[in-house]
Structure 1
Amino acid sequence: MRLNRRLFLGNGAAAATTLAAPALLAEGGGKPRVIVIGGGAGGATAARYIAKDSKGAIDVTLIEPSRAYYTCFFSNLYIGGFREMDDLGHTYGALAANHGINVVHDWAIGVDRDAKAVSLADGASLSYDKLILSPGIDFVDGAVEGWSLSAQNAMPHAFKGGSQTELLKAQIASMPEGGIFAMVAPPNPFRCPPGPYERISMVAHSLKQTNPTAKIIVADPKAKFSKMALFQEGWLEHYPGMIDWIGEDFGGANVSVDPDAMTITIDGETTKVNVCNVIPAQKAGHIAEMAGVTGGNWAPINAEDMSSKADPDIHVLGDAADQGDMPKSGFAANSQAKVCANAVRGALTGSRVFPPKFTNTCWSLIDTDDGVKVGATYEVRDGRIAKVDGFISAPGESADLRRATFEESEGWYAGIVADMFS
């Protein structure tokens, strides 16, 4: 069955149902106040559902520095030539116009949990009754020897949507005939587990058309990765001899780079490359650390409502959350946001709170019309999100099924961006 926009939006209908209840006043009188930091798949969805379903009973402010949000999901398709950058960019005007959300384009630079206030870069301070953090990822300093954020123009990560994605595509287009593209893949856990390998597929797709003698090297600290059999089957079929994947067992965890010399050293062997896509180890976006809700690199939460284990009035969504079995994906963040929105609305207005349910699917494109997917459903067990059952595409599937899987992903993309921004 093809997943279209109507079906996707309908999946959250039960969890989003509102029962009439008198609004509970925030301390000091007036409407309860919710601040959401981060306007991606988690934050924008949570802000929209709280505002929409509370029917004006809750004052919702969304803090996001970017006026246009470029999705990291589907950005690999831009690199492969299947999407334009404008297809990935979305703005926040409808959230303000349709739902009364106060959209603030500024940086959140501090959280005072005792005062329940968020500080902005322009000097303003905003009070909240509930705070939702959905800041995405930042990178672990020193995760790849020789690389730092100051080198991201020479060796882009492109694991945040927007200018980095454009830069990486431009570098690929400028490779000399027979040049070398290298990727340093990240250790677990990281944003979008199939993402680096879909990217390799899309880079190969582009080079096959414009630079067919080019080579791709992948240095990977892991012995296996998401959809490994599917990707390797596809690489052999579509890009024979182009991709050299070097996993943990072959030295992929012993890597350094030199952005000035444009070299990568894998297990002592140095190679001159033309493009190097360094995807470092990741951690929760910095504002979560500033708020004091991280434990290690991520923010531990209570799965029932995505509330922080450090503070019941702060909720953490998406990539930043240490929540259990769900992968760090846009679909997962959107699913978590709906659970969180329902719980926050219930806490502030007395409306009914439904039992939490979570779902996720991650699609990947290997070549034209060759789409694959993996997904699962989840429930809460012992305060964590636990996998109930799952599915994955099988090697050797028919071309018609692979085409249908890709079309399904396109329907999902249209649905999720409408769920976030309309």
Structure 2
Amino acid sequence: MKNITRRAFLKIAGAASATGVLGYSAMARAAGTNKGSARVIVVGGGFGGATCARYLRRLDQGIAVTLIEPSVKFITCPFSNLVLGGLRTMDSITHDYNALKQIHGVNMIHDTVDRIDPVGKKLTLKGGKTLTYDSLVVSPGIDFNWAAIEGYSEKAAQVMPHAWKAGPQTVLLRNQLKAMKNGGKVIIVSPPNPFRCPPGPYERASMIAHYLKQHKPRSKIVILDAKDKFSKQPLFQDGWKKLYPGMIEWVSGAKGGTTQGVDVKKMLVDADLVKHKADVVNLIPHQTAGKIAVKTGLVDKTGWCPVDPKTFESKLHAGIHVIGDSAIAGALPKSGFAASSEAKMCAAAIIALFNGETPPENSFVNTCYSLIAPRYGISVAGVYRNTEKGITEIEGAGGVSPREAPDSFREDEAKYTFGWYESIVADIWG
């Protein structure tokens, strides 16, 4: 893997399915018919849960798989920033579960899990139905710590949208940007680590800037950041300087960027040093594991779920596997690609355990593309493996886009961005 060029690696990751550059052969070895009619329930139909349900069935059709997801259709957070920039529509990032049901034989239940009984191996739905399982996979994504910033709440998000769960919030923020006057100010509040999609706030600033440059060129974006550095920072800032000079200002935590409170009525954001007045505020809240994970006692004092890195089985409740953004997965970031990669390894481990076998050695891949403009892409990629320290990144197998790249390279990476998205959604929901 170390001998493959980074450009070739990105072409593989962008054009191929998210099966993973490493690990599929290990999963294939886990395939087979389990002894008995094992029942697996997967909670959450996003990148992690939907992938796990599909690959459990793909690797062993003797397993009865039920996927529980409240929504009839899933709207991806990846590419939702492109909706804000006017590059995509909401319909284009919305996917149904028909293929999972009709082609892959997954039993779909559109309901919300109200309670999980880890001892009795059963769960209760809000609709009143109780289901039993032999193995449970929990992939609930993230939830928000509404109390972390004074004055902010779920109600306040209807005025200062977070848009960090794609859907109505995305539409609300998009409409606010369209209604804003030319010369207005947009504030993006970026949360402390860890949070879903580390480069996301900065791609969002880029896509909003792309829209404003075309329609409201006198406007400005201020990013108030709780952090002193961020993912792909030099690449983003180079792109901003080239494409949006003077439009985007980033304020680090050390320079007064940490938000303490908001006044929704006055559209004020109170940071460490200054109260900022804005026309549009996109406040991305502090984050924790998904609500059902917290309610079930799957989280530790960090607010996230510790898991066995070989199987993703919870360290707090045996028989429950946690994947995706809610899990503490070592060096793996909280991203859609990582969640899908984790899901496949988890599926292989569950099948092996059902068959009384040792779970296969696992490895993971993550590629995160960001668009600064429609023809200007940047990326970070990594390959990860289990060591005595847990899931760690393989040195030299990945990296970030080179800073001194020609325009043709940035254009290629933008193409890979679109190829990656179409590939991964086809692999999961197609």
Contact map agreement 2:48 2:336 (CA 8 A) in 1: yes
**Partner of residue 370, structure 1:** 376
Deviation at 1:282, TM superposition (A): 0.3
Say which is worse superposed, 267-276 or 201-210, in terms of deviation.
267-276
Q: 1:327-357: CA deviations, max 9, x gaps?
A: 1000000000010000011112457742100
**Using the alignment, how far apart are the partners of 1:375 and 1:19 within structure 2?**
27
**Using the alignment, how far apart are the partners of 1:6 and 1:345 within structure 2?**
25
Q: 1:110-167: CA deviations, max 9, x gaps?
A: 1001110111010001101111011000011312221111111100100111111111
1:382 is matched by which residue type in structure 2?
E
1:195 matched to 2:203 = no
RMSD of aligned alpha carbons: 1.6
**Using the alignment, how far apart are the partners of 1:314 and 1:267 within structure 2?**
41
Say which is worse superposed, 138-147 or 164-173, in terms of deviation.
138-147
**Partner of residue 129, structure 2:** 124
SS in 1 for 2:258: coil
**Partner of residue 178, structure 2:** 173
**Using the alignment, how far apart are the partners of 2:226 and 2:359 within structure 1?**
42
**Using the alignment, how far apart are the partners of 1:418 and 1:104 within structure 2?**
21
Contact map agreement 1:198 1:365 (CA 8 A) in 2: yes
1:230-241 matches, cutoff 5 A: 230-241=235-246
**Partner of residue 25, structure 2:** 14
**Using the alignment, how far apart are the partners of 1:85 and 1:365 within structure 2?**
17
**Using the alignment, how far apart are the partners of 2:214 and 2:375 within structure 1?**
16
1:211 matched to 2:211 = no
CA distance 1:20–1:220, shift in 2 (3 Å): closer
1:410 matched to 2:418 = yes
Which one of the candidate residues 400, 407, 424 is aligned to 1:392? 400
**Partner of residue 3, structure 2:** none
SS in 2 for 1:277: strand
Contact map agreement 1:307 1:315 (CA 8 A) in 2: yes
TM-score by length of 2: 0.93
Contact map agreement 1:38 1:44 (CA 8 A) in 2: yes
1:394 is matched by which residue type in structure 2?
P
**Partner of residue 262, structure 2:** 257
Deviation at 1:8, TM superposition (A): 4.4
Q: 1:39-87: CA deviations, max 9, x gaps?
A: 01100000000012112x1110000000110000111111111111111
CA distance 1:224–1:10, shift in 2 (3 Å): closer
Say which is worse superposed, 138-147 or 377-386, in terms of deviation.
377-386
CA distance 1:19–1:139, shift in 2 (3 Å): closer
Deviation at 1:6, TM superposition (A): 4.2
Which one of the candidate residues 40, 54, 66 is aligned to 2:46? 40
**Using the alignment, how far apart are the partners of 1:333 and 1:171 within structure 2?**
31
Structure 1 runs of 4+ aligned residues shifted over 6 Å read none
1:281 matched to 2:289 = no
Contact map agreement 2:16 2:420 (CA 8 A) in 1: no
1:7-406 matches, cutoff 5 A: 8-9=18-19, 11=21, 13-17=24-28, 21-25=32-36, 31-55=37-61, 57-296=62-301, 297-350=303-356, 353-382=359-388, 384-389=390-395, 390-406=398-414
SS in 1 for 2:160: coil
Deviation at 1:22, TM superposition (A): 4.8
Identity %: 44
SS in 1 for 2:362: coil
Contact map agreement 2:192 2:227 (CA 8 A) in 1: yes
Deviation at 1:24, TM superposition (A): 2.1
SS in 2 for 1:148: coil
**Partner of residue 421, structure 1:** 429
Contact map agreement 1:264 1:271 (CA 8 A) in 2: yes
CA distance 1:240–1:19, shift in 2 (3 Å): closer
Q: 1:205-254: CA deviations, max 9, x gaps?
A: 10000000011111101110000101111111111111111111111124
Deviation at 1:15, TM superposition (A): 3.5
Deviation at 1:18, TM superposition (A): 5.1
Unpaired segments ≥5 residues, structure 2: 1-7
Contact map agreement 2:32 2:59 (CA 8 A) in 1: no
Say which is worse superposed, 384-393 or 104-113, in terms of deviation.
384-393
2:427 is matched by which residue type in structure 1?
D
Unpaired segments ≥5 residues, structure 1: 26-30
Deviation at 1:380, TM superposition (A): 1.1
CA distance 1:195–1:10, shift in 2 (3 Å): closer
